[in-house]
Amino acid sequence: MKIKLLLVAFAVMATTCRAEAQGYPDKTVHIITGTQTGTSGDLAGRLLAQKLQTQIGQTVVFENRPGANGQIAANYVKTLPPDGTSILYVASSTVITGPLMSKSVGFDTFKDFTPVSLAVGAPLYLVANSALGVNTTQELIAYAKAHKGQLNYGSVGRGSVFHFQGEALNAAAGIDMLHVPYTGANNANIIGDLLANRVQVYFPAYPATLAALPSGKIKLLGVFYDERVKQRPDLLTVKEAVPGLITVPSWFGFMGPAGLPAPIVERLEKEVRVALQDKDIVEKLEQVGIVPIGSTAADMERLMHRYYDELSRLAKQVGIEPN
């Protein structure tokens, strides 16, 4: 009797999930994000939200809740019903590096959320002040070794992808650039200090890199990505110059609250992937240095575990401890 009751219960659950997917979405979908308005990641999210609205025939609202490295938005979404009406558009720094740096993020990346799709990549670039006289990644490393303790690299804060990427480069190249964290996640201040040679190295995203290059005060040396990017196909990846380098993940993806039904995940994943095949969307993303990805939910979950494990080992290796 108990077995029959269980079978009936499972059948009812399966029917309910199918019904949810067939009727989904039947109301406004809110995409909540911790990104700052006007950033390239924010632009990518808004473009995708607009495209998804057209595809699913339902209103899609893109809502910014910035603060605490995206933790405010993430902690809000984790409390919402897993019905597909509230989706988190999140940066890798929030769900991967953030929990490695803080004991009080308020969420568990792998227990409190359901992966949907790793949507876009946001590669970081390796740039150095021109006064160093270096033109390649190899020359920067040689300079750092010859001028031990004299190079500083800026980041938008302790535990950011910039911080982890700097320490990954230090570890793989055997150099000791000093980390200079900037409060308030102020990218403009770092670029200003880079141009003034108060910090010598930085890892900005493409728009900031492109804007600063005409000054002649900085050199573009490489890109932190697993493959060369379309914006600069001539530019070597830093990994090509530094074998064994961990490329710290810098991406934006979609996740739902824990328990999001599989049929809804499948529908959302499909729609995100379709949106990222649109030529107009792809062109607009590439203009701001964003790389379309559009992974499956299963691949997103697998990659997140891989990134988390790699950076956990890196943190232990270089002595980065959560506070």
* DSSP codes of every residue in 121-159: E--EEEEEEGGG---SHHHHHHHHHHTTT--EEEESSTT
**Tokens representing residue 209 in the block:** 């890199």
- Whole-number pLDDT of residue 36: 87
Is the pLDDT reported for residue 191 higher than 60? yes
Task: Give how far the C-alpha of residue 320 lies from the chain's centroid of Cα atoms, to the nearest Å.
Answer: 20
Which residue is listed with tokens 């232990």? 316
- Whole-number pLDDT of residue 207: 78
Task: Give the list of residues 6+ apart from residue 191 with CB closer than 8 angstroms, or none.
Answer: 202, 204, 208, 211, 212
- Whole-number pLDDT of residue 22: 65
Per DSSP, the three-state class of 81 is coil
- Whole-number pLDDT of residue 230: 85
287-310 per-position pLDDT tens digit = 888 999 999 999 999 999 999 999
Is the pLDDT reported for residue 10 higher than 80? no
Q: How far apart are CA 254 and CA 294, in angstroms?
A: 10
Question: In which band, very low, low, confident or very high, does the pLDDT at 185 lie, cut at 50, 70 and 90?
Answer: low
Percent of the chain with pLDDT over 90: 66
- Whole-number pLDDT of residue 150: 93
Is the pLDDT reported for residue 60 higher than 90? yes
Of the listed ranges 45-49, 53-57, 138-142, 157-161, the least confidently predicted one is 157-161
Is the pLDDT reported for residue 18 higher than 70? no
Is the pLDDT reported for residue 11 higher than 60? no
Cβ–Cβ < 8 Å for 116, 300: yes
Return the bridge partners of 211, or none: none
Mean pLDDT of the chain: 89
Which residue is listed with tokens 């010598």? 200
Of the listed ranges 148-157, 164-173, 207-216, 224-233, the least confidently predicted one is 207-216
Q: Do domains 2-122+250-318 and 124-241 have the same CATH topology?
A: yes
- What ranges do the domains of the chain cover? 2-122+250-318, 124-241
pTM for the predicted model, two decimal places = 0.86
93-133 per-position pLDDT tens digit = 999 988 988 888 999 999 999 999 999 999 999 999 999 99
Q: How far apart are CA 320 and CA 166, in angstroms?
A: 12
CATH class assigned to 124-241: alpha beta
Task: Give the list of residues 6+ apart from residue 248 with CB closer than 8 angstroms, or none.
Answer: 97, 124, 161, 164, 165, 168, 224, 311
Please give the CATH number for the structural domain made up of 2-122+250-318.
Answer: 3.40.190.150
Is the pLDDT reported for residue 229 higher than 60? yes
34-50 per-position pLDDT tens digit = 998 888 899 999 999 99
Question: In terms of C-beta density within 10 A (0-12 exposed, 13-18 middle, 19 or more buried), how is residue 53 classed?
Answer: middle
